[in-house]
Structure 1
């Protein structure tokens, strides 16, 4: 299910000091990345869009890591149930994912290869349980060579509920929020 929050534009004027139109795009398997995406949306007034693969990933951990490994090694880009329209209107795009096998999840690869990010600013954020950003930033830069990248944020999945002060500090550091 796609979530595009139209009232985010009203909040943008209050929190977004750069004057840019901001979008937060994310894939979340266990809701950790969704929690951080929502925090970013609330703090910046961005629009919010969830990437939903056509086929749900399993909830069985062992089966999931095997599937993720196969998909990443095969450079598989799963079809999505939803497609974001109007990406041209955004200047800054936060891209969030869990860290799977040291990079972002395949649905994020589908999104990144489906749009032209020339002249856009991409800001990665990754949830993890010890592997931090892995090679997510480098892999995103390979897929979007004409985009500008700001410093990404790794957040331990087990601490997302308490992460809002860290997210707020990071947004100030990268100049998206005062």
Structure 2
């Protein structure tokens, strides 16, 4: 049986959902990650940065844009010590500026994913997966990158059926 890891970045606090800025006690991507964990039994790993983002959502978007423009690699708070034990990596992230947050780039560049299967899931407010799959394929050569799922942030609480259906399709 293949062992799975759900590695995800998620931002709680002020977020843009359904056209408004609202305060989320748990980030949308984390909600999806935990639903996937229930369905797959995979381990969870939160991709977190040493330096947090601003509380203000609009300021966070400006910082995220600067990081993308600068091709930044934020330092992470933790590592996966036993990455070799995992065959399947469920990689989750919000879509920021057409791809994933730069912390996810840091994560991907920290390990050799050759021979592993990477399955993506993304939360967004209208931009879907953007070019994130192409970015993963670029940084994870030798990995089998499967089509991901993009879930609108405002819909994550009610996405159980959508996630289950997607996971069942992947098993075929």
1:21-170 equivalence runs, <5 A: 21-30=3-12, 31-170=27-166
| SS of equivalent residue, structure 1 residue 100 | coil
The Cα of 1:59 is off from its aligned counterpart by 2.1
How far apart, CA to CA, are the structure 2 residues paired with 1:119 and 1:136?
20
Query: TM-score, normalising length from structure 2?
Result: 0.90
Inter-partner Cα distance in structure 2 for 1:129 and 1:80 = 26
Secondary structure in structure 1 of the residue aligned to 2:35: helix
Q: Distance in 2 between matches of 1:169 and 1:88?
A: 28
CA root-mean-square deviation: 0.9
Q: Secondary structure at the match of 1:152?
A: strand
Structure 1 residue 20 and structure 2 residue 2: aligned? yes
Q: Are 2:136 and 2:145, in contact at CA under 8 Å, matched by a contact in 1?
A: no
Which runs of 5 or more residues in structure 2 are unaligned? 13-26
Offset, 1:75:
1.2
Q: How many residues align?
A: 158
SS at match of 1:139: helix
Deviation, 1:73, is 1.6
Q: Larger strand proportion, structure 1 or 2? A: 2
C-alpha distance in 1 between matches for 2:54 and 2:116: 33
Gaps of 5+ in 1: 1-18
Q: TM-score, normalised by structure 1?
A: 0.87
